[in-house]
Amino acid sequence: MRLTQITPFVPCTNLAAQTGFYRDVLGFTLGFEADNYAFLRRDDVAVRLVEVSAGVDLKDPAREGSFYIDVQGIDALYADMKPMLDRLPAGRVRAPFNQDYGQREFHVADEDCTLVFFGEGINSNG
């Protein structure tokens, strides 16, 4: 037996805006969409967006969520995304940097402040 993938459910307040962000900024492809749900994939990574009730404040720090995507070629991925990332408001992107725990990462906050971490082991870099 072996686990093969984790696909997070990411709550959002506006499914169309969030789907556009993951598609147009992060490069995911829309695989399926329904009234309050969308499934997107990029390579072997997928996310499931679920629209929540209108009264839910996902920008409240107490509701903050995040997930980590392990990648190969972190700097090339950042360079590929950079033209779209540069269009985001200030404070939503943290450029690649090395962590003390041996990962090179960059971070992006989505439309509802879910923090998406992209990371690669430093020894993995070309």
Angle at 94 between CA 61 and CA 102, to 5 degrees: 100
pLDDT at 56: 75
Say what percent of the chain tops pLDDT 70: 95
Range 100-122 average pLDDT: 94
pTM over 0.95: no
Q: Which amino acid is at 115?
A: L
Q: Which amino acid is at 56?
A: V
Query: pLDDT tens digits, residue range 25-49?
Result: 999 999 999 999 999 999 999 999 9
| Residues 126, 113: Cα–Cα separation, whole Å | 31
Nearest to 117 by CA among 39, 13, 99: 99
If you average pLDDT over every residue of the chain, what do you get? 91
pLDDT at 98: 97
